[in-house]
Homo-oligomer: A and B are copies of this chain.
């Protein structure tokens, strides 16, 4: 079963096996592995690095989080499996509350995810006792906390379902998404779509939060000059350049 160490994509295969283990432990839904693979494809197309338009979006995300009245960092199975420390570091830096919010909801998995975050040192993670619903969504994926997702004005959603991203926008929130696919419904709907791998994205947003904190004029300037459409266009141009590179002399 073990992956040979001489495989050229050993590191990427190791992340995959970690996620598969998290499925065994009940933290990640099996279909979360498929989402990861979809993201991997786009990461590959962007050279597995933070491209310039993603960095600009990460700076804008930091500005919006600092400007917020009630910012919230959401997390689901994949994001908790991939970067629990990164999620905590960002929510401490802003500061923002954390809420677990999952698509395939069971009480067992909610408890497992929140307990896992607590075992990593997180405190005050919302999600155990939902007391509100996101309007316009059927099924349990609408459930959320009033003090968290429901009342937030700026919300960071890593690896979010498109349906829910659109519903959050319809509530009037500023939605910051981390989704490697710049064409996904989530990326198209989001106020600040970030197409970057989650550990890189969280580290960069946290860095910008620390850099911008207290600098109101700079925060205003970052927000004023940001365009989600322009950022997505540049992201797609980067992907096309990388796709065509081998065919150019």
Q: Is B8 within 8 A of A34, CB to CB?
A: no
Assembled-state Cα–Cα distance A154/B117 (Å): 51
Q: Is A34 within 8 A of B40, CB to CB?
A: yes
Q: List the B side residues contacting A19 at CB < 8 Å.
A: 30, 34
Q: List the B side residues contacting A38 at CB < 8 Å.
A: 37-38, 40-41, 44
- Does any Cβ of B come within 8 Å of A82's Cβ? no
Assembled-state Cα–Cα distance A197/B106 (Å): 32
* Highest count of chain B CB atoms <10 Å: which of A17, A31, A163: A31
Assembled-state Cα–Cα distance A16/B37 (Å): 12
Question: For chain A, what secondary structure do more than half of its interface residues adopt (helix, strand, loop), or is it mixed?
Answer: helix
- Does any Cβ of B come within 8 Å of A123's Cβ? no
Q: List the B side residues contacting A171 at CB < 8 Å.
A: none
- Does any Cβ of B come within 8 Å of A172's Cβ? no
Assembled-state Cα–Cα distance A141/B2 (Å): 10
B-contacting residues, A147-181, CB 8 Å: 162-163, 181
- Does any Cβ of B come within 8 Å of A138's Cβ? yes
- Does any Cβ of B come within 8 Å of A112's Cβ? no
A162 CB to nearest chain B CB (Å):
7
- Does any Cβ of B come within 8 Å of A249's Cβ? no
- Contact residue among B24, B42, B104 (Cβ-Cβ distance under 8 Å from A41): B42
With contacts A8-B162, A9-B162, A41-B41 known, what are 13 further pairs, Cβ within 8 A? A2-B139, A8-B163, A8-B185, A20-B31, A31-B33, A36-B37, A38-B38, A38-B40, A44-B183, A233-B247, A236-B247, A240-B240, A240-B243
